[in-house]
Amino acid sequence: MANSILIIDDEKDFRTSLRHVFECHDYKVYEACNGKEGVEVYRRITVDVVITDILMPEKDGLETIREIKKEFPNAKIIAMSGVVKSGLDLLSIAREFGATHCIRKPFQPDDIIRLVNSMLDVPISSQEFPPKIEP
C-alpha cells in the first residue's frame, strides 16, 4: 500500500506542484485548501504525513497543527512557511504546537521528499525531481 500525504495550502498552484512531486514518488495525495478543510479530511482519512502551510484563511496552520495533534497525538506533521510575521518565527511556534518538522518556502522538491521519506523510513530513490517549487 502506498504511503499517503495530506497537503494543506491555500495556494492551488503550489498544492498542484507538490501533489505532482509526491505522485511521481508513488505517494497517495490528498489536498485541502485551508486548515478547517484539512482537519476534516484528516479525520476521514488518517494519512501518514500532513504537510501544512501556516498562513491560510478559515483556520491557519498553527490552529490546524494544534487540533490534529490534540485528537491524533502520533500524527506526523510538517509545517511550511515562507513568511516571517512581525518578527515572529512562525515555524518555531509551529514546532511548539506539535509540528514534527518544519521547512521554509521555497524549497527544492528533493528536500521535501527526503524529509517525508526519512519520517516514514522510505529509501531515497534516484529518480529525477521536478523543477523548484515556488510559493
- Give the β-pairing of 77-81 and 4-8: unpaired
Arithmetic mean of pLDDT, 5-19 = 96
Number of domains in the chain: 1
pLDDT digit string, tens, across residues 39-81 = 999 999 989 999 999 999 889 999 999 999 999 999 999 999 9
User: Which residues pair with residue 107 across a beta bridge?
Assistant: 133
Judge whether 35 and 123 are in contact, CB under 8 Å. Answer: no
Residue 131 lies in a domain: no
Residue 84 lies in a domain: yes
Nearest to 70 by CA among 35, 102, 36, 98: 98
Residue 105 lies in a domain: yes
The predicted pLDDT at position 86 comes to: 62
Write out the residue range of the structural domain in which residue 65 sits. 4-118
Residue 57 lies in a domain: yes
Taking the whole predicted model, whether its pTM rises above 0.75 is answered as yes
The predicted pLDDT at position 60 comes to: 95
Residue 89 has pLDDT above 90, yes or no: no
Report the SS3 class of residue 57. Answer: coil
| CATH code for the domain in which residue 65 is found | 3.40.50.2300
Residue 127 lies in a domain: no
With 0-12 / 13-18 / 19 or more C-beta atoms within 10 angstroms meaning exposed / middle / buried, residue 123 is exposed
The predicted pLDDT at position 130 comes to: 44
The predicted pLDDT at position 109 comes to: 92
